[in-house]
Structures are given as structure tokens and as C-alpha cells.
Chains A and B, each alone.
Chain A
Amino acid sequence: MSGARLGPWIVVGLAALYFVLPLVATFEFSLSMLRGTWSFEAYRVVFADPAFRQTFGFSVLAALATIVLGALLVVPTAYWVRLRFPRLRAVIEFVTLLPLVIPAIVLVFGYLRLYNSSSWLPFTGSAWGTNLLLVFGYVVLSLPYMYRAVDTGMGAIDIRTLTEAAESLGARRRTILFQVILPNVRAAVLSGAFLSFAIVIGDFVIAGLLNRPAFGPYLALIGQNRAYEPAALAVVAFAATWGCMALLQLLGGRAPGAAAAPLRTRRKAIP
């Protein structure tokens, strides 16, 4: 291999080390709970803890709710803006980027001021209300990723002409949105969904301040009191997140170059 080729490889290798080394170190550490031998003892302890199952389950549910709500909010918005108000696209994009600029903690304090139990809309007055608020917060946090993904996905298909084609065939707006537009941006929605999932599973700030039994606060609590279990938890969370990504790839992925192809044909196409 020539020197010119070697340079980039060294850079890539270094970058990979930068990401992989801490993971390997964490993983290694999580295996060394029992002195003098490698074991999955830390994982056994973690999985045996009912609080783990509860908080993780809670966060997964919150993530799914976030994804559904986010998609229901973002897909029609992105569609409508692209179709009717293309000039507003820059504005909407800016608005959706705000959560990246405004720290989550500011958001939560704003929520707490607006929706506390003595306000006009007392979300935090009940557990389900607070859960709802939590999901709203997550939707906002994941907005930049969801909107970008969906908007880019819509840019890849000619939504205007598809809409007109469907309209000329007698379809109404809702039918068009759910039967024509949504299926064709499915891959984009799924990639936005994955990022939303990762954000929700990793969130500590919102859940902590709203005092919800989510995975982030649990992880922080364990981190303060234990040595090996947090490492195991981190690895589990990491694996779960990547597992979800793989699942999404499998469900919504498409061959490069091919248009959004339904699974049926793709399976047939692969011998």
C-alpha cells in the first residue's frame, strides 16, 4: 500500500480507537466484578434488579410514544410546508433546530413554570399528566433530528406531483398523507425514530427534573452508589440502542439506488 493511501487509514484508525477504546474499557470493567476472573456477575446483578426492568421499560415506552407523537407532528408539518409554504421552510427549520441551542434544562424549567400544579394547565398535578409532559419534552428534544430526517426524505420524492396525481384520482388530503406520502418517507421517519429513541433512552435531565422513573435517572443513581453495575448498564443501554438501529435498518432499510421498496419485493429480489 502506498504512503498516500496509508494516511487516511491512519486517521480512520485513530478515530475508531477514539470511539472504541472507551467502550472496550467500559466493557472490560463491567466484566471484572468478581476478583481475579472475568464474569457477567455485574450483568446478573443489573438484570436481577427490578428497578432496572421498570425504568428501562418505562423509557422504552416513553421512546415509542415520542416516536409516534413526533412522527404525527412532523410528517404532516413537513408535508404541508413543502407543499403550500415553501418559503416558510427556512423558518420552520430554524424553529426545529432551537432545541439544539436551548439546553434541555431550560426547557424543563419553562415547563415547570407553565404547567405546575397551580397553573392553568396543571400537567404536573398527576402522574399521567407528568408522563405526558415528559413525552412532549422528548418530542421537542428529538424535533431537530425527526424534522431533518423527514424533510430530507420528502425532498427525495416529488411530493407535489405525487399529491396532484392522487388528487386527480379523487383522493382527499388525509388519504394522500397516509397512503401516498407517509409510506414513501418511511425510511426517513425510521431514521428519525432511531435518533429519538437514543435521545429518550439517554435522557437524564428532563426525566430527573420531572421526577419520572426513567432509565437515565436510574443509571445516575446506580452510578453514584456502585462501581461495576453502571458499566454493565452503559453497555446494556448501548447494545439496546444499536439493536434498535439494526432493527430499523432491517425494517425500513432500502438498497442503495432503489426507490423505497416494500419488503415483499425486496425479499423476492434477494435470492
Chain B
Amino acid sequence: MSFLDISGVSKSFGGNTVVRGFDLGVRRGEFISFLGPSGCGKTTMLRMVAGFEQPSAGTITIDGEDVTHRPPNARRIGMVFQAYALFPNMSVGDNVAFGLKVAGRPAAERGRRVDEMLGLIKLAHLKDRYPYQLSGGQQQRVALARALAPSPRVLLLDEPLSALDAKIRVSLRTEIRALQRELGITTIFVTHDQEEALSISDRIVVMSEGRIEQCGTPHEIYNRPRTRFVAGFVGTLSLVEAVAEGSGATVSVAGQPVTLAEPVPGSGRRPVTLAFRPEALKLDAGENRVNAIRGTVEAAEFLGSVVRLRVAAPGGTLLADVFNSPAAPPPAPGEPVTLHFAPGDVFALDGEGAAPVQPMAAE
């Protein structure tokens, strides 16, 4: 059994089911992200682990102990909120000491632990300040220290970086991850920012409408999305309609043959949707890039290290990121191009005639 085990958990508010059949085992010391669009039930699931909501069905165990019906203050969890939620009437030191104080730890031990925690977040010099005298980033680091001070079994973070500006967001997420590794604490991190989830997680749980769509490492989620939803939600994707015939791994895109890594399931003549990551499409045919699709450049967007091309192909519009090279200017709009890719760089999505997935921009 995993260290944190969520098994068959559902949650309804009135008649509205917001989490359904949620199964997840989290290993000790693992960093898990819940990723999904707004309203998909991430917070609700996290709050059930924390004990602020009661599951309508299912059980939650931590370290072998069934905590499903235990109140939050008996679960030994640490929680970090989007709005920091530091106690305004207490200094930074007192905030961090709060959990130890209610646990009845002696003053000397509290003092040591507070200093240790503030050292870890590098805010020892702000110990006597009050929350309103701190920046947002500092407040959130204090909130992190406060949650970690009583040595919780699980650390839960609900979009802890959403209220911060972009630069702090990136540096603080790195800091959170480093601290998590150092302390080896089992962590669940809720976010709707895919880049955040991809960059810091051991595993990502992609959720949609209260269900787990896919659970896997960032590499798996990004490169082998199992459902259309995951494919569309994580990363940018362009879709091309193709036709499969027979049981082979070759399909045809407007007459041009394309070889896939695996055969398309099913039989007979049937439509399939091919999905491409922008970085999979190249302008040159190298190594095992045996496939080619011809099209016309619609637009070229210069992004610095890469140039994003929009190419109109017979089966759909393709986005291709090609490396910027000082020697060769990118193709101009209207120019015909051939895009090359390897069989492993394309994946077929099931579901015929479904609407193309809209790549979600990171919010």
C-alpha cells in the first residue's frame, strides 16, 4: 500500500458530483501535482485529503491509518493556501511556531525549530516582522515554513503561486521543490498551470470534470497523452485528419502516406486524428524522420530561440517550432515547405469526427 492512498473517493455537493471514483497511491516522499482546468475538482480532492471536506464515498489512508473520518486537526498534514493565510496578529516567528505551540512542544524546542525552518526558507532576518510587512513571495515562504514546522506527514499546496507575479512564481516553485526534496516530504501540489506541473512534479494527475484523465510522469504526460483531453490540455498540439486502412501502421494524410510507431486499432477504412507537438516537426529530413507532409507557410512567428511556423497542410493546420539559425532566415509566408517527422513523434487520437482540440494557453 502506498504512503498516501486515495481509493474510490467521490464527492457530491447536493446533486452535483465534482469528484468521481478517484484512485491514487502516492509514495512516501513523492511530489504529485493535480493539474486540470478550473472547476475540475482539484481543490475539492485536496480538501478531502486535508479533512476540510468529507468524501461522499471512498477512503483516504495516510501511512496505513484510515483518516477518512478524522478531523483536519488530527491528520498531521501541512497546508499552504493561495491567499497565504498567515495569522495577521502574529509575527513571522510566532506564525511558524503556531503548530508546535498547539502541539504543546516546549519553548526551547519551538525556538530551535522556528530558526531551522526560517533558515531553510532564508528568511531568518524577518523573524520579528508581521505578515503585513512582507511581500507576497515572502509571505508564501513563511506559510510554507509554518506548514512544515510541525513535521506533517503530507504537505498539501493549493495553487500556492497563483497570487504571485511571474518571476517569483518560477523561483519559488524551484525553491519549493528543493525544500520538498531536502525534507523528503510527501507532497500534493494543485495547479492549473501545466508548465508549473511539468517542471516540478514526480508525477502529474491530469483531471477533468472530477475524474483522473491520466496519471504519469511529466515525460509520459507530455509525450504519451492517453486521452484527447490530456493531449489538448498539456502542451501545444496541432491536429491533422487522416485515414487508416487495414491493420498496418501506415495512414494517409490527403494521399501522402505517414508511418506511425504503432498500428491504429480497428479495421477497415476509418478516420483517425494525428496529433503533433510543434517541436516534433522539422524542416529537414534527418535520421529517422521518414515521414513528410507538404504544406504552405501561413505565418512565421519569431520567438527568439525558435521560430513558430503555421503551416497549412491538406489535413489541417500544423504548428512547427524550428530552431532559429542566424545563417538561414525562416521561410516567408506563402512559401511551400515540407515538414519531416519520425514515426515516434506523432500519435493517433481515437474518436472520429471529434472537434479538434484547442491548445490551451497557459494562464
Alpha-carbon distance between A258 and B130 when the two chains are bound, in angstroms = 10
Q: Is the beta-carbon distance between A162 and B73 smaller than 8 angstroms?
A: no
Q: Is the beta-carbon distance between A168 and B78 smaller than 8 angstroms?
A: yes
Interface pick from B83-91, B192-200, B337-345: B83-91
Q: Which of these, B81, B129, B131, contacts A259 with CB under 8 Å? A: B131
Min Cβ gap A131→B in Å is 34
Min Cβ gap B155→A in Å is 10
Q: Is the beta-carbon distance between A161 and B73 smaller than 8 angstroms?
A: no
Q: Is the beta-carbon distance between B77 and A166 smaller than 8 angstroms?
A: no
Q: Does B1 contact A (CB under 8 A)?
A: no
Q: Does A157 contact B (CB under 8 A)?
A: yes
Query: How many interface residues does B have (CB within 8 Å)?
Result: 34
Min Cβ gap B249→A in Å is 51
Q: Is the beta-carbon distance between A183 and B102 smaller than 8 angstroms?
A: no
Min Cβ gap B263→A in Å is 50
Q: Is the beta-carbon distance between A169 and B99 smaller than 8 angstroms?
A: yes
List A contacts of B99 (CB < 8 A).
169-171
Residues A166 and B98 in contact in the complex (CB < 8 Å), given A161-B83, A183-B89, A260-B88:
yes
Alpha-carbon distance between A261 and B129 when the two chains are bound, in angstroms = 11
Q: Does A265 contact B (CB under 8 A)?
A: yes
Q: Is the beta-carbon distance between A172 and B85 smaller than 8 angstroms?
A: no
Instruction: Specify the chain B residue showing the minimal Cβ separation from A255.
Output: B132
Min Cβ gap A174→B in Å is 11
Residues A167 and B73 in contact in the complex (CB < 8 Å), given A161-B81, A175-B102, A180-B87:
yes
Q: B310-341 toward A: CB 8 Å interface, digit per residue (1/0)?
A: 00000000000000000000000000000000
Q: Which of these, B78, B79, B83, B150, contacts A158 with CB under 8 Å? A: B83
Q: B65-87 toward A: CB 8 Å interface, digit per residue (1/0)?
A: 00000011111111101010111
Q: Does A28 contact B (CB under 8 A)?
A: no
Alpha-carbon distance between A168 and B72 when the two chains are bound, in angstroms = 6
List B contacts of A164 (CB < 8 A).
50, 52, 72, 79, 81, 85
List A contacts of B81 (CB < 8 A).
161, 164-165
Query: Inter-chain contact count A-B, CB under 8 Å?
Result: 82
Q: Is the beta-carbon distance between A168 and B73 smaller than 8 angstroms?
A: yes
Q: Is the beta-carbon distance between B147 and A169 smaller than 8 angstroms?
A: yes
Query: How many interface residues does A have (CB within 8 Å)?
Result: 24
B window 34-88: CB within 8 A of A:
50-52, 71-79, 81, 83, 85-88
Alpha-carbon distance between A165 and B150 when the two chains are bound, in angstroms = 13
A window 149-198: CB within 8 A of B:
157-158, 161-162, 164-172, 175, 180, 183-184, 186
Q: Is the beta-carbon distance between B79 and A165 smaller than 8 angstroms?
A: yes
Min Cβ gap B157→A in Å is 11
List B contacts of A183 (CB < 8 A).
89
Alpha-carbon distance between A238 and B71 when the two chains are bound, in angstroms = 51
Alpha-carbon distance between A195 and B103 when the two chains are bound, in angstroms = 38
Q: Does B146 contact A (CB under 8 A)?
A: yes
Q: A237-271 toward B: CB 8 Å interface, digit per residue (1/0)?
A: 00000000000000000000011111001000000
List B contacts of A158 (CB < 8 A).
83, 85
Q: Which of these, B52, B132, B150, B156, contacts A169 with CB under 8 Å? A: B150
Q: Which of these, A170, A172, A175, contacts B150 with CB under 8 Å? A: A170
Instruction: Specify the chain B residue showing the minimal Cβ separation from A157.
Output: B88
Q: Which of these, A161, A175, A186, A265, contacts B130 with CB under 8 Å? A: A265
A window 122-165: CB within 8 A of B:
157-158, 161-162, 164-165
Q: Is the beta-carbon distance between B73 and A172 smaller than 8 angstroms?
A: yes
Alpha-carbon distance between A211 and B72 when the two chains are bound, in angstroms = 52
Most chain B CB within 10 A, of A168, A171, A259, is at A168
Q: Is the beta-carbon distance between A262 and B89 smaller than 8 angstroms?
A: yes
Q: Is the beta-carbon distance between B103 and A170 smaller than 8 angstroms?
A: yes
B window 107-152: CB within 8 A of A:
129-133, 143, 146-147, 150
Instruction: Specify the chain A residue showing the minimal Cβ separation from B129.
Output: A265
Alpha-carbon distance between A168 and B79 when the two chains are bound, in angstroms = 6
Q: Is the beta-carbon distance between A168 and B77 smaller than 8 angstroms?
A: yes
Instruction: Specify the chain B residue showing the minimal Cβ separation from A186.
Output: B89
List A contacts of B87 (CB < 8 A).
162, 165-166, 180, 184
Residues A162 and B85 in contact in the complex (CB < 8 Å), given A168-B77, A170-B73, A170-B102:
yes
Q: Is the beta-carbon distance between A259 and B130 smaller than 8 angstroms?
A: yes
Alpha-carbon distance between A170 and B149 when the two chains are bound, in angstroms = 12
Instruction: Specify the chain A residue showing the minimal Cβ separation from B89.
Output: A183
Q: Which of these, B52, B76, B83, B156, contacts A170 with CB under 8 Å? A: B76
List A contacts of B133 (CB < 8 A).
265
List A contacts of B72 (CB < 8 A).
164, 167-168
Alpha-carbon distance between A170 and B78 when the two chains are bound, in angstroms = 9
List B contacts of A162 (CB < 8 A).
85, 87
Q: Which of these, B78, B102, B130, contacts A261 with CB under 8 Å? A: B130
Task: Identify the A interface with B (CB < 8 A).
Answer: 157-158, 161-162, 164-172, 175, 180, 183-184, 186, 258-262, 265
**Apart from A168-B147, A184-B88: 12 A-B pairs, beta carbons within 8 A:** A162-B85, A162-B87, A164-B81, A165-B143, A167-B51, A169-B73, A169-B78, A169-B102, A170-B74, A172-B73, A183-B89, A258-B132
A-B residue pairs, 3 tightest by C-beta: A169-B99, A183-B89, A168-B79
Residue pairs across A and B with Cβ atoms less than 8 A apart, 17 shown, are: A157-B88, A164-B72, A164-B79, A164-B85, A166-B87, A167-B72, A168-B78, A168-B79, A168-B147, A169-B73, A170-B73, A171-B73, A175-B102, A259-B88, A259-B130, A261-B130, A261-B132
Task: Identify the B interface with A (CB < 8 A).
Answer: 50-52, 71-79, 81, 83, 85-89, 91, 98-99, 102-103, 129-133, 143, 146-147, 150, 156
